Amino acid sequence: MKRRQFFKTAGGATFLAGSGLISQTPTFPALLMDLYVLGGKANLSKIEARYYKKHPDREIECTLCPRFCKLGDKERGYCGVRENMGGTYYTLVYGKACSIAKDPIEKKPLFHYLPKSSALSIATAGCNVNCKFCQNWEISQVRPEQVQNYDFPPRAVVEAAKKYRCEVIAYTYTEPVVFYEYMYDTSLEARKKGVRNAVITGGHINPEPMEELTKVVDAIKVDLKAFSQDFYTNYVRGELQPVLEAIKIVHKSSAWLELVYLVIPTLNDSSDEIRKMCQWIMKEIGPDVPLHFSRFVPMYLVKNLPPTPLSTLEKVRKIALEEGINYVYIGNVPGHSAESTYCPNCKKIVIERRGYSIGKIALKGGRCKYCNNPIPGIWI
């Protein structure tokens, strides 16, 4: 079924609404009308994957993420979007976006990176972990045959970003690590055209591919799910230590780094765990990495817990500030004073926020307008 036929159907309308593809910008759906909607195995990509080893008897070992999947012929990795075909490993989602939207950069959230800018956000199906609280599980916890995909190769992504005045391309919604090749090549193409790149990731990736990625993108936001391996084992099905290593790699690179911690009642919100995490950040990263504490809302497989109490969010923010972190935010609570950026020296607001809306910006040359204190970030 071609694009115009699909969009005329009830299924097409339902897919667009359910996937968040209809942007607040009225003209943006015109982009979707220009793309072909694909479905089924015959329409997946067959581009050789990077970061894998070949073994005898057509077996391979994926070295992209800490799972190190060992696969026989015709087997797929844990992510479901990379397949061994006759001893060669292929990505099935190269140029096959399942979600496309125009977002404010603040939605990622990136607060110290090009305030007020717009991001062309793209994702493919798949993920290399299984967070039981995932908010995008309909596209992250499925195989690419189970969603509608758009034929959206790197050059077309960059052309769309330019056309719709998006200063940034954001690789987001699902886990960009699983569509590494697509993200990497799009980033290279974007840089040629003066478009920047931001990665929204859980950081479950091996050191070499992360180091290479930092050379071609401009900002990386890492979701640190908790600061205990037990939580990663039981609620993420992943490993904590590789995520911490990935954060250190980003910090040492030229890419801008921000961290997000989703605070889930009774599971990862203890004062002791939060304090240990903040102490680790201070030791390994320093006081100037923006740290976002986000409110949990019941989702996917964790529906038995209430939304995070505001008092808990304020408590963990206070701990982070006590430990010396300068820029600590509360997310998913529109209108809270901790959405704004404060100068750590004079305590005045230098970027005023309410939800995704930006009020005054009191910065001059990357410094506080009131006391001339430097405010780390990418501002232009």
Domain boundaries, the chain: 97-368
- Output the pLDDT for position 64: 98
pLDDT for 3 beyond 50: no
- Spatial contact of 119 and 103, defined as CB atoms under 8 Å apart: yes
pLDDT for 21 beyond 50: no
**Dihedral Cα 262, 263, 269, 275, nearest 10 deg:** 60
- Percentage of the chain with pLDDT > 70? 90
Of 253, 226, 222, 255, the C-alpha closest to 238 is 226
- The whole-angstrom separation of Cα 174 and Cα 98 is 10
Token digits of residue 278:
């903040």
Radius of gyration of the chain from Cα atoms? Answer: 21
Phi, psi for 241 (deg, rounded to 5): -60, -45
Token digits of residue 353:
């926020």
**Dihedral Cα 274, 275, 279, 282, nearest 10 deg:** 70
- Spatial contact of 161 and 198, defined as CB atoms under 8 Å apart: no
Of 277, 243, 282, 247, the C-alpha closest to 263 is 277
Tracing tokens 């070499």 back to the chain, one arrives at: 208
Q: Give the model confidence (pLDDT) of 263-321 as tens digits.
A: 999 999 999 999 999 999 999 999 999 999 999 999 999 999 999 999 999 999 999 99
- Output the pLDDT for position 38: 73
- Percentage of the chain with pLDDT > 90? 88
Token digits of residue 295:
């409110």
Average pLDDT of the chain, as a whole number = 92
pLDDT for 19 beyond 50: no
Q: Report the chain's terminal Cα–Cα distance, integer Å.
A: 43
Phi, psi for 33 (deg, rounded to 5): -70, -20
- Output the pLDDT for position 75: 98
Query: Domain 97-368: which topology?
Result: TIM Barrel (3.20.20)
Q: Give the model confidence (pLDDT) of 218-232 as tens digits.
A: 999 999 999 999 999
Q: How many helices (H) and strands (E) does the chain have?
A: 11, 22
Helix H, strand E, coil C: the string for 227-277 is: CCHHHHHHHHCCCHHHHHHHHHHHHHCCCEEEEEEEECCCCCCCHHHHHHH
Lowest mean pLDDT among 16-20, 79-83, 131-135, 189-193: 16-20
- The whole-angstrom separation of Cα 188 and Cα 205 is 20
Tell me the whole-structure pTM to 2 decimals: 0.91
- Residue 347 zone, left/alpha/beta (φ > 0; ψ -120 to 50; rest): left
